[in-house]
Structure 1
């Protein structure tokens, strides 16, 4: 590997801002993913794709590529495997309670009661018996798009699973055991038009040591195709909001889709509950993003040449409390429609703008395109926050999720040479 290469899940520019890069007009990239990122990379001015074993400056790869090319211990999925995410959040919560106090630890109470199976099966059974009749959800720890998920209310409903040692249908003839999590189901989700939804929010981490994280202004709500009811727990179109699941519904309309843009959702919630309640909700989501990253900050191996764009899944309940459902590495960039395609292209373009392979930024920016810097080895406050507000309010974080994303105007001010080059 040449010294100017960047590698890892996604590659950042920090290691290539060297004398070796000065004067080179072309950024060489490699990408094998057949979705929106290919379109964005190919349209990037001054960038050229390399094939096979060619020298590259940036390699946009998926987890599969990393597992083939790097030691598994180096790439442990501490935040993005469902069981490890909960394990680290529980550990971090206990650490805060011991070192800071119960008040601070309570700020980590944003994930449902969860047990790793089969290892914590007996602990799960004890908790299950304390709340008879409640609904639980089983999820494979390493699958996505709703695969292998089911709801249950009786222990006998998972006895067949336990007898098979947690093996899926594909594993029945093997000795491999598939790990699951059993999680208390949120029985009172916030509904719009009678339908359940969750939020997909994008967080870009450009460094873990020190922690530097950016929150994207755009995102979306994913709706179920069927009106919600706890009377039926077997209807996946009612309880699972994954687009991969919803688009298989018999009455799914691909033109209409099942998404709202984040700005639309924020306007709806503000009209119904008022600005203060919505500000509180979004501040609590900021807390989720930062605390979850802090929970793995010391155990994720930091590589200044790498970055990660996470897809957070957040569920709201009827009290406007946000719950962290899971965090996705390599979230899907495959669009479900034209509006979704345009949003994801903006997201990916701005990710490359933050990564800054061209070396145009100073490193002191608090906003780049649609990304707002929310944590930089400490909280980042809004530029418009005055001293009185800072002293009296928690609504001063430099985040604008669901707010106006005037990224083109902001980029014109910030990186005018890049945009001029694009027009040529």
Structure 2
């Protein structure tokens, strides 16, 4: 159900029900019903409103104590690439030792001059990746050798490209980590122990850095929406064969890392720290935005958010944050998708 212009009843609901946007996937509907929720699209009686887009101000204003909305006010401070870059840069300036997990990033167009100065001073030979500020699915991303290849007026972020990634079977990959934030004051964060590994569909080759020569996106971009368009993409055929094809489960990934003699537990502790530090970078802003609910939000949990953290590992198995997604996909294209997303939603 669309949230635009919607208001709710005067009394708090008594039944466990869920309201969601019709764009939500079948897995949400089936999982909620399996938990005993009365899932419908009637906004007058609900306990949890499960939206894929930001609810209207009227929905926030009408929410009652005991109701839960899936959208934390101000969450875009983490999920818009330019805002995330700004918050992490501020923290890095204050605490560089603990905020060293995010590639050097510039917000365009306002920091294009700073980027040019960096390039002249220390960026010679460095490769940059340029991402639209509001882009998704790999659309509009370019890899460049020189700032001369960047439109100085574009709305984007430019990052130093991580050109020495950890590879599995010769392929570049990233980790989509599902994170649940149930409150911002006090801050409550839960990291799910299952997610998926997204692989490129062509063996990785470091960009040669020649001006104007486009890098092959199937070698360098791990976005699932992009790679599944490659005829060579292999879809998983069974939830038990979780190391099959170009999307794996964390369970399969952990098994492979242990086979290579890597400290899996230590890796996930480092990833947990990256997640907590990232959210804390925007904590003050999120708490301020939550003021719209303060008089009715008795336990700080009126709003919640499931986030998708994209993490890449370098050749030393050190985690790097790429971006944070406010509406991580829950579309089920394979049996493995269904298994993972059902667990996460539960």
Quickly name the TM-score band, shorter chain normalised.
0.7 to 0.9
Give 1:89's aligned residue.
88
Inter-CA distance 141–210: structure 2 relative to 1 (3 Å threshold): same
Inter-CA distance 204–3: structure 2 relative to 1 (3 Å threshold): farther
2: CA distance between counterparts of 1:288 and 1:76?
17
Aligned to 2:311, the other structure's residue is in SS state strand
Shift of 1:258: 1.2
Alignment of 1:239 onto 2:250: no
Q: Which runs of 5+ in 2 are unaligned?
A: 1-7, 62-71, 209-213, 237-243, 294-300
Inter-CA distance 76–262: structure 2 relative to 1 (3 Å threshold): closer
Give 1:50's aligned residue.
41
Inter-CA distance 253–69: structure 2 relative to 1 (3 Å threshold): same
Shift of 1:257: 4.1
Tell which deviates more after alignment, 147-156 or 238-247: 147-156
Alignment of 1:192 onto 2:178: no
Structure 1 contact 281–320 (Cα < 8 Å) conserved: yes
Which stretches of structure 1, 4 residues or longer, exceed 6 Å deviation after superposition?
Answer: 67-71
Give 2:194's aligned residue.
218
Shift of 1:86: 1.5
- Determine which structure has more spread, i.e. the larger CA radius of gyration: 1
Give 2:132's aligned residue.
140
Shift of 1:180: 0.2
5 Å-filtered alignment, 1:344-355, equals: 344-349=341-346
Give 1:388's aligned residue.
none
Shift of 1:57: 2.0
Return the structure number with greater helix share.
Answer: 1
Structure 1 contact 257–337 (Cα < 8 Å) conserved: no
Give 2:65's aligned residue.
none
Shift of 1:68: 9.2
Shift of 1:260: 1.2
Q: Alignment RMSD, CA only?
A: 2.4
Shift of 1:311: 0.6
Q: What are the superposed Cα offsets for residues 363-408 of structure 1, whole Å, 9 maximum, x if unpaired? A: xxxxxxxxxxxxxxxxxxxxxxxxxxxxxxxxxxxxxxxxxxxxxx
TM-score by length of 1: 0.67
Give 1:253's aligned residue.
234
**Selected match of 1:341 from 319, 327, 338:** 338
5 Å-filtered alignment, 1:16-415, equals: 24=14, 26-32=15-21, 33-35=23-25, 36-51=27-42, 53-66=43-56, 74-75=73-74, 77-95=76-94, 97=95, 105-129=96-120, 130-158=122-150, 161-162=151-152, 165-166=153-154, 179-231=155-207, 233-255=214-236, 257-274=245-262, 277-300=263-286, 301-302=289-290, 303=293, 304-349=301-346
2: CA distance between counterparts of 1:67 and 1:214?
27
Structure 2 contact 74–285 (Cα < 8 Å) conserved: no
Shift of 1:43: 3.2
Aligned residues: 304
Shift of 1:224: 0.3
Aligned to 1:107, the other structure's residue is in SS state coil
Structure 2 contact 75–326 (Cα < 8 Å) conserved: no
Structure 1 contact 28–50 (Cα < 8 Å) conserved: no
Aligned to 1:106, the other structure's residue is in SS state coil
